[in-house]
A = this chain, B = another copy of it.
Amino acid sequence: MKVLIVLAHPEPQSFNGSLFKVSINELKAQGHEVKTSDLYSMKWKSEIDREDFLSLSPDARLKPAFASGEAYATGNLTEDVKIEQEKLLWADAVLIHFPLWWYSMPAILKGWIERVFSMGFAYGLGEYNDKHFGNRYGEGPFVGKRAMLVVTIGGRKEHYSARGIAGPLDDLLFPINHGVLYYPGFDVLPSHVIYRTDKLDEVGFEREAEVLREKLRQLDTIEPIAYRPQNGGDYELPSLLLKPGLEEDNTSGFSLHVRKTREAECK
């Protein structure tokens, strides 16, 4: 496989920086091709702004989404963005390594999404009408590609469990896994998470590195999260409300949008 590995951490010697190297080395050792985007070392520009759209008239009102669509269609995106888009098109799988900061991804990684996932490239594709609301959530340009978050967390696992005070980690990551990755068509693998990284010594790091290596050996066979495709029959149109009766166990919130395993298997 061709694998793009993205890293968002400012310190090469950090737990994240070290784990990034583990992923690179393990995937290469398995014979995969690897490209990387080490955002901090690339000095990635985080803010989407007027400088991203050089062909926009100086007195025109900047509408970032539409400006990105125009610049993508006319080949006028900046070089740094074009290079990242090429990597995404090249990759069969994308790993995204980051520390959970304030219950989400680091700003620099959010800025990578905002600038690289241009309209026309990552979204805004397909017909938009009352019977088909775009090729999104399970359709889109990245269909057939896999994506997985590799997340480090300073806190304790219990605090991120079903009844933990921070909220369930799968829910905290839902806006990324479902909203950023599944939306343009990725098959999203369950996130690889390591807790209490501040407390891990070298032995602990090596243990976690081996767990990650073992996971990476199954990168092409891990079952993706069973999110419901927008155009797969589970949603009313054009409201995009989940059809009555599809929920199970009185679930509410984000988990409504994941099929139970058995239901997924039986389709």
**A contact residues vs B (CB 8 Å cutoff):** 10-11, 13-14, 40, 44, 46-50, 61-65, 101-108, 110-111, 113-114, 117, 137, 154, 156, 158-159, 161-168, 171-172, 174-176, 178-180, 198, 228, 230, 235, 239-242, 250-257
Contact = CB atoms under 8 A, between A and B. Distances in A.
Nearest to A174: B167
Contacts of A168: 253-254
A158 B40 contact: no
Given A46-B108, A108-B46, A164 B239 contact: yes
Contacts of A101: 64, 114
A183 to B, nearest CB: 8
Contact of A252 (B47, B117, B162, B240): B162
A78 to B, nearest CB: 15
A47 B49 contact: no
A257 B107 contact: no
A154 B254 CA distance: 20
A47 B221 CA distance: 35
A250 B162 CA distance: 13
Contacts of A174: 167, 171
A171 to B, nearest CB: 5
Nearest to A47: B108
A104 B110 contact: yes
